[in-house]
Amino acid sequence: MAVIGLGRFGQSLALELMDDGVEVLGIDAREDVVQSLDGRLTHVVRADATDEQVLRQLAVPEFGRVVIAIGSDIESSILVASLLRRFAVPTIWAKAVSDAHGLILEQLGVSRVVSPEKDMGRRVAHLVRGTMQDFIEIDADFAMVKTALSPELAGTRLGDSGIRRRYGVTVTSVKHRSGAWQPATQDTVLREGDVLLVTGPVRQAERFSRSAS
Ligand code: ADP
């Protein structure tokens, strides 16, 4: 896998991939960035990724997956995306810093556009209200939420709890106090202090987690 642009986002992505045992070629225009990552990625190269010859010398056209993690320099990000498309790299992920940037990347045919700041802002907006312990939007209007159990549901068998009918959410896993996560079944008995993982439409999941507070 190649990661182009090793700012905060690119670095953390590249290092996590290395931790997972993936070989990573990192490319950045800045010498200090490249030096700080020397020996921590499979290869780290100082280069201007908008230069087609440079990318060819680094064998980037042969990579199956490339992540463009250049954000603030939108022009570079777009030029690199267009080069990678020309090389027919099968899977290209790119970070966008604005909606317009994301739209251009999509129009260029980038496989997946991520907007870490926007996504994290939305996520924190849900968490900061204090009812959910974690929130991941899986799809437009569909979320997975980690939440406490409403005390009124303690002692009920999940199959009899009416949670799906009343709240429109599905409990997928349950963690009893000081226990490990377990898959939820109809026979799971909910206990005071349980933490639940539920999936459902965002508003319903929110309403369910509010019922616990
Ligand atoms: P972050 O917000 O994740 O820190 P930035 O957009 O600030 O992201 O950083 C992107 C990185 O991409 C920087 O380290 C910068 O040096 C690098 N970069 C920008 N343009 C190019 C380019 N044309 N070629 C290679 N690296 C680049």
Residue 13, pLDDT score: 97
Question: Which of the four CATH numbers 3.20.20.10, 3.40.50.620, 1.10.10.60, 3.30.70.1450 does domain 119-210 have?
Answer: 3.30.70.1450
pLDDT at 10 over 90: yes
Residue 191, pLDDT score: 95
Spatial contact of 85 and 55, defined as CB atoms under 8 Å apart: no
Integer Cα distance of 79 and 9 in angstroms: 19
- Strands 195-200 and 170-175 turn out to be antiparallel
- Strands 132-139 and 142-148 turn out to be antiparallel
Split at pLDDT 50, 70, 90, the class of 131 is confident
pLDDT by residue (tens digit) across 186-207?
999 999 999 999 999 999 999 9
Is the dihedral angle over the CA atoms 180, 184, 190, 196 positive or is it negative?
positive
Which atom of ligand 1 has the smallest separation from the CA of 51? 23
pLDDT by residue (tens digit) across 69-126?
998 999 999 999 999 999 999 999 999 999 999 999 999 999 999 999 998 998 898 8
Burial class (CB in 10 A: 0-12, 13-18, 19+), 62: exposed
Sole residue written with tokens 């250049």: 70
Phi, psi torsion values for 25, nearest 5 degrees: -95, 120
Split at pLDDT 50, 70, 90, the class of 129 is confident
pLDDT by residue (tens digit) across 133-165?
999 989 889 999 999 999 999 999 999 999 999
Which atom of ligand 1 has the smallest separation from the CA of 30? 16
Spatial contact of 6 and 37, defined as CB atoms under 8 Å apart: yes
Residue 127, pLDDT score: 87
Integer Cα distance of 75 and 49 in angstroms: 12
Domain with CATH 3.30.70.1450 in the chain: 119-210
Split at pLDDT 50, 70, 90, the class of 130 is confident
Ligand 1 geometric centre to CA of 126 (Å): 30
Residue 128, pLDDT score: 85
Integer Cα distance of 112 and 4 in angstroms: 15
Domain with CATH 3.40.50.720 in the chain: 2-114
Q: Would the CB of 30 count as within 6 Å of ligand 1? A: yes
Residue 96, pLDDT score: 97
Residue 207: helix, strand or coil by DSSP? helix
Which atom of ligand 1 has the smallest separation from the CA of 50? 23
The separation between the first and the last C-alpha atoms of the chain, rounded to the nearest angstrom, is 44
Tell me which residue has its CA closest to atom 12 in ligand 1. Answer: 5
Tell me which residue has its CA closest to atom 21 in ligand 1. Answer: 29
Q: Would the CB of 26 count as within 6 Å of ligand 1? A: no
What's the pTM value of the predicted model, to 2 decimals?
A: 0.83
Integer Cα distance of 112 and 7 in angstroms: 19
Is domain 2-114 classified as CATH 3.10.129.10?
no
pLDDT by residue (tens digit) across 34-69?
999 999 999 999 999 999 999 999 999 999 999 999
Which atom of ligand 1 has the smallest separation from the CA of 76? 23
Integer Cα distance of 154 and 137 in angstroms: 27
Residue 77, pLDDT score: 98
* Average pLDDT value for residue range 6-22: 97
Tell me which residue has its CA closest to atom 15 in ligand 1. Answer: 5
Spatial contact of 173 and 188, defined as CB atoms under 8 Å apart: no
Ligand 1 geometric centre to CA of 11 (Å): 10
Within 8 A by CB and 6+ apart from 169, the residues are 145, 163, 198, 199, 200, 201, 204, 205, 208
Residue 161, pLDDT score: 95
Which atom of ligand 1 has the smallest separation from the CA of 80? 23
